Amino acid sequence: MTFWEGQKVLVTGGSGFLGIHVVNALKGKNCAEIIVPRSKEYDLVDNSRVSAMFAAFKPDIVIHLAAVVGGIGANRKNPGKFFYDNLMMGVQTFEQARLHGVKKFIGIGTICSYPKFTPVPFKEDDLWNGYPEETNAPYGLAKKMLLVQSEAYRQQYDFPSIFLMPVNLYGPGDNFDPDSSHVIPALIRRCTEAVLQGKKELSVWGTGNATREFLYVEDCAEAIILASEHYDSSAPVNIGSGMEISIKNLVRLIAQLTGFQGDIVFDPTKPDGQPRRRLDTTRAKKQFGFVASTQFEEGLKKTIEWYKAAYC
């Protein structure tokens, strides 16, 4: 039997951006059942509903993707909500998984948990060497507690769980809401709208000097599947592409791919966020053979095509 064959797999957040791609990847794995609980029925912030969910579905494996997320603006507006909701969803889902005898728990964290001035490339061993970047620290620290819980539960209960930290994701099905989207979908939307409206100028937050690493969402789904199958340690694992691009060059590339030819103006009064982000992905390659396969420009083109088909 394969790892998945005959197993009931519960994917929290399975109808979200990453969740849809993880569920699609699971469909060819001969699972007995893939369960995607709906938040309206099973509010993971409410422990009684979390307990009811496990009692109702009796899963063998849990992939915990559910999260309250957003870009810098959304994090600045909702630090309390982002901390509380993410912390409670993670802690309670993890505990109920243990109490209900789940065979393996796959916790998904975030690179926002890293210290603000982590040496580049980010290595997992540097995770506790400082405080996260202020604008998303509440979110990053709440998700980081999954790692603490994984290590503690393995030590005391011998509970099998892993903790993965994906870099910034992008791809078809991303969140393009201007109030909560991350940088790539926000820029794709704004550049596309600027072209349609004939605008001659585009204003962008920050100096443009900050750098980011991005991972195509289907690659991330593949990494989660591989890690679930082949990794069994609570030591955290970076999930990324190993590339790095400045926001300035990112804006220029998206403008080029969307056909926007106007001026790009950066607003240094707005925050840049963490100065640099690029991961050391050695552990993922060594432990379960994951290497990102989608070239960045190729992934951007697919994302832009999907957005235009869905929204224009």
Q: What is the dihedral of CA 239, 240, 246, 249, to 10 degrees?
A: -140
**Catalytic residue, candidates 42, 114, 139, 307:** 139
Q: What is the dihedral of CA 150, 277, 272, 140, to 10 degrees?
A: 0
Q: Which residues in the chain land under pLDDT 50?
A: none
pLDDT, one tens digit per residue, over 93-103 is 999 999 999 99
CA dist., res. 167 & res. 297, Å (int): 17
- 8-170+213-243+278-294 to CATH, choices 2.60.120.560, 3.30.70.2190, 3.40.50.720, 3.40.950.10: 3.40.50.720
Mean residue pLDDT across the chain = 95
Domain locations in the chain as residue ranges: 8-170+213-243+278-294
- Contact criterion met (CB below 8 Å) for 107 and 164: yes
Predicted confidence at residue 216, as pLDDT, reads 98
Predicted confidence at residue 271, as pLDDT, reads 86
157 is catalytic: no
Predicted confidence at residue 215, as pLDDT, reads 98
Predicted confidence at residue 161, as pLDDT, reads 98
Q: What are phi and psi of 35, to 5 degrees?
A: -110, 125
Predicted confidence at residue 1, as pLDDT, reads 63
